[in-house]
Amino acid sequence: MPHHTPLIATIVTGLALAFVFGALAHRLRISPLVGYLVAGIAIGPYTPGFIADQGLANELAEIGVILLMFGVGLHFSMKELWAVRNIAVPGAVVQIAVATLLGAALAHTIGWSPGAGLVFGLALSCASTVVLLRALQERRLITTERGQIAVGWLIVEDLVMVLTLVLLPAIAPLLGGHPDGQSAGSSSVDVSQLMKTVALTIGKVSAFVAIMMLVGRRVIPWILHYTAHTGSRELFRLAVLSIALGVAFIAANLFGVSFALGAFFAGLILSESQLSQQAANESLPLRDAFAVLFFVSVGMLFDPKIVIEQPLAVAATLLIIVIGKSLAALAIVRAFGHPLGTAFTISASLAQIGEFSFILAALGMSLDLLPAAGRDLILAGALLSIVLNPLFFVGLDHLKPWLEKKDETHPANNAEPEAEEEPVSVTDLEGHVIVVGIGRIGKRIIDNLAPSAKPLYVIDENEEEIKRLHARSIEGIAGSATTLLHAANPAKASAMIVAIPSNFEAGQAIEQGRAANAAMPIIGRAQTEAEADYLRSYGATHVIIGADTLADALLATYRATASEQPPPPASPEPPPEPKT
């Protein structure tokens, strides 16, 4: 067996160091993303010690982006995407133009060519998919109007960047560079060829969207439903991953669309299926792991010397990303009449750069448009903006009361109020039963307890199930029990039933419930005695072990069935032997 295994070495060292530095960052009460970036710097080529394979790290990170965008598509819908087109399209285009002009101005000040300024500015204009979605998901903003605007804005940015990557080699001679295979001195531009390239790109993107709407809408849900009927969870998980990765790969190689955009449309088509929530749950573990590798790969690109050698240029680049872009987005959103809270949320979401910035920088260098210093400044700006981005949302949390007060008095809000997600409020119920999880087990529990005198409060991540319970006058909230248990008012509850299969999440929910109510009975579920001991250690008073309960039910059914059956007929006696 060969011992030279760069893929395994990159995955192992990347994930292990990400865990170590991420845990340390959590201990210091800062975002674990900082730890993941530091892990990348530690295994990058600019620090001593082990050096991971950068090419492999980038490809692994791309898988994380694909799975993340697939998950976003699962929670999105064409109706919601179409609803934000009036602000997402002009907003993204104007914001890209502003950021590009600011970047070009900085490049001119440094002494770079106009072509370098164009590439540099464009690289500073596009936000990171992973960072933006992670920030919105952590704050449960994906399904709100501001979250939909931010995601729609991101999709438009991706489309613009796809078009840029196709057109840039064609116009490189006009900008002072050279396309692949030509000499640097060539400066002619074939206008007709350029127009053909533009038309071909738009045609490919349109063809991909049309095929996904007409064919994918029927084929993709059918594949998932067929696999679900096999009864194999392993096959279902494999089908989900095959759809996400396969559609993204086909989109990139046949239609020239980015991996992220292809995966988003795959999730968008699948969101219309009843199995969308299960598909999202099955892809979540792998999605999280590869998203971590994305941040590690960004850290590997960073050369710390740039901060010492060119501090003013680094500071100016960072200001364009976190201040220039943010102010442009803020002004655009406000110009369209949206509340100040929405404008600040979108501004904070876009105050960073990521994947497309790196791709564009690499292309600019290959075309002799962007100097190496430009790439280093882009990487420095990306790393620092990703580190600072969580602080913007922390600041928004502190400004929330002020923003709400301002939005109440803004005249635009009186004309057409926004359909924002209501803030999490604590229920007024007392003596109620908290049920965590609406799976097959949770549904039976809820159906049996609903007619009783005690009210119920249900927590589950499936928003559609929660809406169905609301129609039955049963209170509940959609989201994770680890972050929303306080909404169920556990201090005044009479009991708590945790019916989710995840022991990790169940343990945290039980721990919070026990801390809020020391006398409340808490009932959990487990598959093994070790899992039961784990839940008891967090405060569960009773734990039902699935295997034992199933065995008891099977035995009870067998005994009841055996007692109901008539005794078997007696065997006929042999005829008497004839007398002699």
Q: Tokens for 106?
A: 């900085």
CA–CA distance, 505 with 525 (Å, rounded to integer): 12
**Per-residue burial over 301-321, b = 16 or more CB atoms within 10 Å of its CB, e = otherwise:** bbbeebbeebeebbebbbebb
What was the pLDDT predicted at 188? Answer: 54
Q: Is the pLDDT of residue 83 over 70?
A: yes
What was the pLDDT predicted at 419? Answer: 43
What's the average model confidence in pLDDT over 468-485? 87
Which stretches of 314-452 are assigned E, i.e. beta strand?
433-436
Q: Is the pLDDT of residue 189 over 80?
A: no
Greatest mean pLDDT among 90-104, 238-252, 294-308, 563-577: 90-104
What was the pLDDT predicted at 412? Answer: 47
Please tell me whether residue 146 adopts helix, strand or coil conformation: helix
CA–CA distance, 107 with 115 (Å, rounded to integer): 10
List helix spans (H) across 255-275: 259-270
How many whole angstroms from its chain centre is CA 11?
A: 20
Distances (CA, A) of 275 to 185, 239, 270, 445, 461: 57, 12, 8, 22, 14
CA–CA distance, 409 with 340 (Å, rounded to integer): 11
Greatest mean pLDDT among 61-75, 224-238, 288-302, 426-440: 426-440
Given a contact cutoff of 8 angstroms between Cβ atoms, the answer to whether 166 and 197 are in contact is yes
Q: Tokens for 344?
A: 């600040």
* φ, ψ (nearest 5 deg) of residue 456: -115, 150
CA–CA distance, 206 with 217 (Å, rounded to integer): 16
More confident residue, 343 or 274: 343
Mean pLDDT, the chain, whole residue set: 81
Q: Tokens for 55?
A: 């090419």
CA–CA distance, 474 with 486 (Å, rounded to integer): 17
pLDDT in tens, 84-138: 778 888 888 999 999 999 999 999 999 999 889 999 999 999 888 777 877 777 7
Q: Tokens for 267?
A: 């999730």
Which residues does 235 contact at the CB level (< 8 Å), separation at least 6? 227
Give the β-pairing of 522-526 and 542-545.
Answer: parallel
**AA identity, residue 182:** Q
How many whole angstroms from its chain centre is CA 419?
A: 22
Q: What angle do CA 290, 294, 297 make, to 5 degrees?
A: 130
CA–CA distance, 134 with 144 (Å, rounded to integer): 15
Q: Is the pLDDT of residue 541 over 60?
A: yes
Greatest mean pLDDT among 22-31, 113-122, 134-143, 403-412: 113-122
Of 44, 42, 50, whose CA–CA distance to 20 is shortest?
A: 42
What's the average model confidence in pLDDT over 404-408? 63
Q: Tokens for 268?
A: 């968008």
More confident residue, 128 or 377: 377
Report the interhelical angle of 355-366 vs 145-175 (nearest 10°). 0
Which residues does 5 contact at the CB level (< 8 Å), separation at least 6? none
State the residue for tokens 């605007």: 149
In this structure, how many other beta carbons lie within 10 angstroms of the beta carbon of residue 332? 22
CA–CA distance, 535 with 540 (Å, rounded to integer): 6
Q: What is the DSSP letter of 416?
A: S
State the residue for tokens 């001593």: 48
Q: Is the pLDDT of residue 531 over 90?
A: no
**212-216, 310-314, 417-421, 553-557 — which is least confidently predicted?**
417-421
What's the average model confidence in pLDDT over 325-337? 88
Which stretches of 15-161 are assigned E, i.e. beta strand?
none
pLDDT in tens, 279-316: 777 777 787 788 788 888 878 877 888 888 889 999 99
Q: What is the DSSP string of 15-58?
A: HHHHHHHHHHHHHTTS-HHHHHHHHHHHTSTTSSS----HHHHH
CA–CA distance, 340 with 410 (Å, rounded to integer): 9
pLDDT in tens, 437-446: 888 888 889 9
Which residues does 75 contact at the CB level (< 8 Å), separation at least 6? 142, 143, 267, 271, 276, 280
Report the percentage of the chain scoring pLDDT > 90. Answer: 19
What was the pLDDT predicted at 75? Answer: 64
In this structure, how many other beta carbons lie within 10 angstroms of the beta carbon of residue 75? 19
